[in-house]
């Protein structure tokens, strides 16, 4: 069976997750500054402390951990092939956070501090973060064992085989747990953002803040659509085209609004956020158009994955620009 063209995207998208945390907190604060309403609880700002911890781990296991794992696999294969002496000892494969680590001056890669929990323990988000943390800690123990084993003069091959299987299984489970955390986080996030958008509309109408937030919400919904499980039979290029059309309408409405108000200022007399994100947003929309056309034309899997990566990277750039601008103004 031909592989689904979206199989890689879930691993790519975690890099954008940590930026979304900061943006969410900033939007809540900006919303209160602009509308002076208490319809949305400010508790969500404090609650993001737990999610920031989880986000740091998600970014770590999506990037640095996989790089370290690839390096570890070279050592494992060399050991199995009887060529262990050709490679230097493993350094810093262990993920930090334990006295068992042999890494020197290894910074703690990530740690989820349960003392900062603000949600009830029965909350689905807390359950997802707890399960993720438990899986991460179990994998961390295995990486400590691997680091110790491979720094021995003659590592035991059978022990290495067992550890290799355990680590591979642990990484796979960790990826599943990370997706669950993202899903649980974004459910209340989108509810709060929708309420913020409605509150801005009620107090200020379709002003500069409404147009900007509306576009960013639609952008995230589009990314989430692409991030759906590859087994979802409803995932298709027509669905992406529908979202792209909605984005185009939001873009045109925003452009029309700002064109008619060339001297508009945002908070602290600065340029509106829209002008800051306009160029990266256009770049992202261009990449999205390319992906949609290729998908509709049944392009090969490798080409689709490359286009998906470009879409995600440009969305990351858009989100970083948006995040920096929002944090700098409110």
The arithmetic mean of pLDDT across residues 22-28, rounded, is 49
pLDDT at 26: 47
CA dist list (Å): 258 to 30, 210, 273, 283, 327? 20, 12, 11, 19, 21
250 in the same domain as 121? no
**According to DSSP H, which parts of the chain are helical?**
9-35, 43-62, 64-80, 124-150, 157-204, 208-226, 237-259, 273-296, 301-329
Across the chain, mean pLDDT equals 76
Between CA 310 and CA 5 the distance in angstroms is 14
Residue 6 exposure: Cα atoms within 13 Å on the Cβ side: 23
Q: Residue 288's Cα: distance from chain center in Å?
A: 18
* Rounded distance between C-alpha atoms, residue 170 and residue 139, angstroms: 5
Counting DSSP H helices and E strands in the chain, the numbers are 9, 0
CB-based contacts of 238, cutoff 8 Å, min separation 6:
296
Whether residue 178 sits in one domain with residue 211: no
Q: Would you state the structure tokens that stand for residue 42, as one six-digit string?
A: 């400010």
Residue 151 placed within a domain: yes
**Whether 75 and 173 share a structural domain:** yes
Name the band, by pLDDT with cuts 50, 70 and 90, for residue 176: confident
Write the Ramachandran bin of 97: left for phi over 0, alpha for psi from -120 to 50, otherwise beta. Answer: left
- Same domain for 71 and 145, yes or no, is yes
Residue 264 lies in a domain: yes
Task: Check whether residue 75 and residue 158 sit in a common domain.
Answer: yes
| Backbone dihedral angles phi then psi of residue 124, each to the nearest 5 degrees | -55, -35
**Residue 147 has what pLDDT?**
85
Answer yes or no: is pLDDT of 96 > 60. Answer: no
Q: Does 147 lie in the same domain as 78? A: yes
Which of 183, 218, 237 finishes a domain?
183
Cβ atoms < 10 Å from Cβ of 11: 16
Could you report the per-residue pLDDT of 97-119, keeping only the tens digit for each?
443 444 433 444 566 665 444 55
- Token look-up 């042999």 returns 102
Contact 305, 226 (CB under 8 A): no
pLDDT tops 90 at residue 213 = yes
Whether residue 51 has pLDDT greater than 80: no
pLDDT of 18: 52
Residue 94 above 80 pLDDT? no
- Domain enclosing residue 112, as ranges: 45-183
Read off the DSSP letter of residue 156: -
Contact 122, 110 (CB under 8 A): no
For residues 79 and 170, state if they share a domain: yes
| pLDDT over 80 (residue 44) | no
**215 — pLDDT class (breaks 50, 70, 90):** very high
* % of the chain surpassing 90 pLDDT: 27
In this structure, the number of other CB atoms found within 10 A of the CB of residue 78 comes to 15
d(CA 75, CA 98): 23
Angle between helices 301-329 and 273-296 (to 10 degrees): 170
pTM value? Answer: 0.60
**DSSP assignment letter at 87:** S
Does pLDDT of 211 surpass 90? yes
Is residue 104 domain-resident?
yes
Considering the domain architecture, whether residues 110 and 167 belong to the same structural domain is answered as yes
Q: Is 238 within a domain?
A: yes
Number of domains in the chain: 2
The C-alpha atoms of residue 325 and residue 328 are separated, in whole angstroms, by 5
User: Do 139 and 52 share a structural domain?
Assistant: yes
Q: Which of 328, 277, 284 is nearest to 308 (CA)?
A: 284
């Amino acid at each position: 069976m031909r592989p689904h063209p979206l199989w890689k995207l879930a691993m790519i998208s975690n890099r954008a997750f940590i930026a979304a945390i900061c943006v969410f907190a900033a939007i809540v604060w900006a919303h209160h500054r602009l509308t002076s309403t208490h319809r949305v609880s400010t508790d969500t700002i404090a609650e993001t402390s737990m999610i920031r911890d989880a986000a740091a781990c998600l970014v770590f296991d999506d990037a640095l951990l996989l790089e370290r794992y690839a390096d570890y696999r070279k050592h494992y294969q060399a050991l199995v092939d009887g060529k262990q002496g050709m490679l230097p000892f493993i350094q810093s494969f262990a993920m930090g956070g334990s006295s068992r680590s042999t890494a020197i001056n290894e910074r703690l890669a990530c740690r989820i501090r349960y003392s900062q929990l603000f949600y009830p323990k029965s909350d689905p988000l807390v359950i997802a973060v707890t399960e993720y943390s438990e899986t991460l800690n179990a994998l961390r123990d295995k990486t400590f064992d691997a680091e110790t084993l491979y720094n021995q003069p003659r590592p035991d091959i059978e022990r290495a085989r067992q550890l290799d299987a355990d680590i591979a299984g642990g990484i796979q489970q960790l990826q599943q747990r990370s997706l669950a955390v993202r899903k649980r986080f974004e459910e209340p996030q989108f509810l709060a953002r929708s309420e913020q958008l409605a509150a801005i509309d009620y107090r200020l109408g379709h002003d500069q803040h409404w147009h900007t937030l509306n576009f960013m919400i639609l952008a995230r919904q589009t990314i989430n659509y692409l991030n759906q499980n590859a087994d979802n039979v409803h995932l298709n290029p027509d669905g992406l085209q529908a979202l792209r059309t909605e984005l185009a309408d939001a873009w045109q409405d925003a452009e029309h609004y700002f064109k008619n108000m060339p001297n508009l200022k945002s908070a602290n007399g600065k340029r509106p956020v829209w002008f800051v994100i306009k160029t990266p947003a256009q770049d992202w929309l261009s990449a999205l158009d390319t992906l949609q056309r290729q998908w509709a034309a049944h392009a090969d899997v490798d080409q689709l994955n490359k286009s998906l990566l470009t879409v995600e990277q440009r969305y990351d750039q858009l989100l970083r620009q948006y995040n920096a601008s929002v944090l700098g103004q409110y």
